[in-house]
Structure formats: structure tokens, C-alpha cells
């Protein structure tokens, strides 16, 4: 089969930009689990309006056979991350293609040359702009819906395409299912949390309004920078990136689901729990208009599933009861809603976090999805 022609997305209004957005929708048109990004969000990336592009760089590409799109890929040089970690990585993201090794090889060859031209020594992905963005391709759990766009869905053949192109496993990230109807914090953890709260000056203040939630959004973002600094995928987000991230999160989170831990008035930890809007996002097909917005708001008010994607405790409090309080807050986040929650999806847990995985087992969570990040030495 002939090798595809690969073209760069040069502007948000170019035909290539439209094909980059529409290709995966056509590829997954018969798949009930695929959730596309909103078109406006993608166009914003093409226009380099994300604060990521203040310090880093990236390009978007579409593969064609004649005039027909057959694949796509985005490539990023996260200079903040490389500078912080000492790595020389190029990241790929938004990788989608038909089940054709020639197309996949052509996209990855372009990616390798793009990285080498910048003096980068490793190609890794799928990985987004930061550790908060879900990474990896799905390799287990194809009969399960995704967690909105946080941890995406792909066809099973993606794994073979990557491995046949020479990529090796870097790390797996798992998702675990928790049934809030039967979940109860183990007695030992509850006891430690109770003692820590009484003796250590910890508190779980109730978040009652969206205004109150917005007022502490940036504070939570800053704590994220402090609480995740010992993770391999971490690099501090800039103030502008934190502001964008927290603005996005406050659009979808329900104040009743947000749990924060304070220590003598200072923010010490958080649990970010989101109403699962996956079904509404699938029906939206990437379009944001009055009809799809109404569906999303209706789903937000009625969904009985939640997604937990963001737990953090300041390092100084991990060994004096803070972690136990975090798990107690996790229980409250799924039991304080004004309706019965029948499923909680805990996402993006690295397989290398042995203590966290042991804690999930203790909490009665069941691993049911797995995403894999791959890397290729250049």
C-alpha cells in the first residue's frame, strides 16, 4: 500500500484543521464509547491560544491518501517539563489512524524526525500538555465507557500499531471502579483520620456554592503543584496554566462533590470528583451549542456516576494522618450528593504507585481499565 501524504495544520480555519477534527469522528462513528474533544477547544490549540504555547511548542499533522484523511497526530516539545526533569522528550498526542501499519509508521517516522530536528532523544506518548491530562492508549477495558475526555477510548488495534512501529512500554495507568453504595472507609483509616482531625487541627469545610468553589480554585491549583512534585510525569504548571485548568474544572465540577482539607486554615489536601458527563459528551459530537449545552447541564444534574481524577495531600502531612483524612474525604465526596451514586471511576493511577494501588485494594476498588504510555529512543 502506498505511503500517505502528511500535511501540517497551518491555521485554525484550514482544511487540514477541519480534517484533524473530523477524522476521528468518522473513524469512530460506529463506536458507542468514543468521546471527541470540543471543536472549539481544538481550534484554540491550532491558534496557539493555550498558555502551554507561552513556554513550549507543538504542531499538528494529518495523513492523506489522495484527498481522504487516514490518520492524525500532534507533536509537542514541553520545554518546561524537559527543563524541570532533565529529559529530552518529544510527546505525541491525538494519535488516531485506520488499522493500517503503513499510515502509523509514516506518522511515527515524521514524529521521530520532528523530534531529532529539535535535539530531542525520546518520543513518548500518548501524553498531553501536563500530568493532569490523561495519557496512554487503552489496552484493557474495551467494553467500558471512557471517563469523559480525561482517559480516552481507542480501538484495540492501536497497541499492535505502536509496538510494530518499535515502541516499548513506558508505564501503565489504571482506572478502578468503586461502588459508593457499599463503600465504607476501613475502620483503621477512619480511626486515624478521626484522631488526626481532633489533634492535628485538620478540618473538612463544606463547599456550599459555585462562588465559594471558584474563590479557592487557584489555591487548589497551587497545592496541586506542591503535592505532585515527586511524580515522574510532573512539572510545575505556570500560573496562567493553573488559571486555565481551574477555570475548566469549575465548569464541570459540582460544589457538593468537591472536598478540601484544611490545616489551621491553610489548604492541605483536596479530592476532585466530577459528575460523569460522558453520555452527554458522546451525543454532543464535539459541538457546543444551546442543544448540547442543555443536554450536558441535564446530565450534570441527573447522572449517578462520578469520576475521581485528582487527589492531593501536601507532602508534609502525608505521614501524620493527612492521607487517612484524604480517603475519608473521598468517601464523603461520593456520599454527600443529593442522589444515590451507583459508580465511581478512579482514574489515572500509575502502576508504579504501589502504596496507592494497595490503598485502592483496601478501599475495595476494582481495577477495570488500563492505559499504556509508550516510548521510543531516538
pLDDT of residue 253: 81
Q: Please state, as a whole number, how many other Cβ atoms lie within 10 Å of the Cβ of residue 189.
A: 22
What's the rounded Cα separation, in Å, for the pair 281 and 108?
29
pLDDT of residue 338: 65
Answer yes or no: is pLDDT of 336 > 70: no
Answer yes or no: is pLDDT of 184 > 90: no
Residue scoring higher pLDDT (145 or 94): 94
What's the rounded Cα separation, in Å, for the pair 132 and 135?
9
CA 225 to each of CA 229, 303, 313: distance values in angstroms, whole numbers, following the listed order: 6, 30, 11
Q: Which residues contact 46 (CB under 8 A, 6 or more apart)?
A: 9, 11, 12, 17, 20, 60
Q: Domain ranges for the chain, please list them.
A: 5-172, 180-341
**Mean pLDDT over each residue of the chain, to the nearest integer:** 88
Output the CA torsion sign for 283, 277, 93, 156: negative
Q: What pLDDT band is residue 164 in, cutting at 50, 70 and 90?
A: very high
Greatest alpha-carbon pair distance for the chain in Å reads: 70
Residue scoring higher pLDDT (318 or 109): 109
What's the rounded Cα separation, in Å, for the pair 245 and 286?
19
pLDDT in tens, 32-66: 999 999 999 999 999 999 999 999 999 999 999 99
Residue scoring higher pLDDT (338 or 83): 83
Answer yes or no: is pLDDT of 376 > 90: yes
pLDDT of residue 344: 84
Can you give the three-state secondary structure of 60-114, one letter per residue? EEEEEECCEEEEEEEEEECHHHHHHHCCCEEEEEEEEECCCHHHHHHHHHHHHHH
Q: Tell me which range, 29-33, 218-222, 239-243, 333-337, is most confidently predicted by mean pLDDT.
A: 29-33
Domains 5-172 and 180-341 alike in fold = yes
pLDDT of residue 1: 62
Please give the model's pTM, rounded to 2 decimal places. Answer: 0.92
What's the rounded Cα separation, in Å, for the pair 79 and 269?
28
What's the rounded Cα separation, in Å, for the pair 276 and 279?
8
C-alpha cell at 171: 508505564
CATH 3.40.630.30 is the classification of domain 5-172: yes
> What percentage of the chain reaches a pLDDT higher than 90?
47
pLDDT in tens, 96-148: 999 999 999 999 999 999 999 999 999 999 998 876 677 899 999 999 989 88
| Fold entry, domain 180-341 | Aminopeptidase (3.40.630)
pLDDT of residue 89: 97
- CA nearest neighbour of 129 among 20, 45, 21, 216: 45
Range with lowest mean pLDDT among 117-131, 210-224, 257-271: 210-224
What's the rounded Cα separation, in Å, for the pair 195 and 201?
10
Amino acid at each position: 500500500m502506498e505511503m500517505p501524504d502528511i500535511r501540517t495544520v497551518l491555521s485554525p480555519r484550514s482544511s487540514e484543521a477541519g480534517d484533524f477534527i473530523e477524522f476521528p469522528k468518522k473513524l469512530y462513528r460506529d463506536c458507542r464509547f468514543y468521546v471527541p474533544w470540543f471543536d472549539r477547544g481544538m481550534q484554540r490549540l491550532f491558534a496557539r491560544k493555550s498558555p502551554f504555547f507561552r513556554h513550549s511548542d507543538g504542531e499538528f499533522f494529518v495523513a492523506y491518501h489522495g484527498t481522504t484523511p487516514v490518520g492524525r497526530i500532534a507533536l509537542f516539545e514541553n520545554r518546561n517539563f524537559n527543563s524541570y526533569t532533565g529529559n529530552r522528550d518529544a510527546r505525541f498526542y491525538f494519535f488516531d489512524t485506520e488499522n493500517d501499519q503503513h499510515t502509523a509508521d509514516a506518522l511515527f517516522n515524521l514524529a521521530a524526525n520532528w523530534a531529532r530536528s529539535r535535539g530531542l532523544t525520546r518520543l513518548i506518548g500518548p501524553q498531553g500538555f501536563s500530568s493532569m491530562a490523561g495519557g496512554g492508549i487503552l489496552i484493557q477495558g474495551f467494553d467500558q465507557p471512557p471517563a469523559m475526555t480525561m482517559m480516552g477510548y481507542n480501538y484495540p488495534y492501536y497497541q499492535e500499531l505502536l509496538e510494530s512501529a518499535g515502541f516499548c512500554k513506558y508505564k501503565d495507568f489504571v482506572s478502578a471502579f468503586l461502588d459508593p453504595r457499599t463503600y465504607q472507609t476501613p475502620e483503621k483509616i477512619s480511626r486515624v483520620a478521626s484522631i488526626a482531625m481532633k489533634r492535628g487541627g485538620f478540618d473538612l469545610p463544606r463547599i456550599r456554592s459555585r462562588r465559594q468553589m471558584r474563590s479557592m480554585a487557584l489555591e487548589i491549583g497551587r497545592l496541586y503543584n506542591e503535592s505532585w512534585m515527586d511524580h515522574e510525569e510532573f512539572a510545575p504548571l505556570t500560573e496562567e496554566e493553573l488559571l486555565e485548568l481551574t477555570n475548566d474544572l469549575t465548569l464541570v465540577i459540582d460544589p457538593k462533590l468537591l472536598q478540601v482539607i484544611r490545616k489551621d486554615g491553610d489548604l492541605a489536601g483536596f479530592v476532585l470528583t466530577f459528575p460523569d458527563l460522558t453520555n452527554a459528551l458522546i451525543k454532543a459530537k464535539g459541538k457546543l451549542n444551546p442543544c448540547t449545552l442543555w443536554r450536558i447541564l441535564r446530565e450534570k444534574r441527573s447522572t449517578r456516576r462520578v469520576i475521581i481524577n485528582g487527589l492531593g495531600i501536601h507532602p508534609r502531612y502525608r505521614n501524620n494522618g493527612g492521607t487517612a483524612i484524604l480517603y475519608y474525604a473521598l468517601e464523603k465526596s461520593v456520599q454527600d450528593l443529593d442522589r444515590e451514586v451507583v459508580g465511581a471511576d478512579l482514574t489515572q493511577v500509575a502502576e508504579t504507585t504501589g502504596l496507592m494501588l494497595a490503598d485502592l485494594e483496601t478501599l475495595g476498588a476494582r481495577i477495570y481499565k488500563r492505559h499504556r504510555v509508550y516510548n521510543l529512543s531516538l
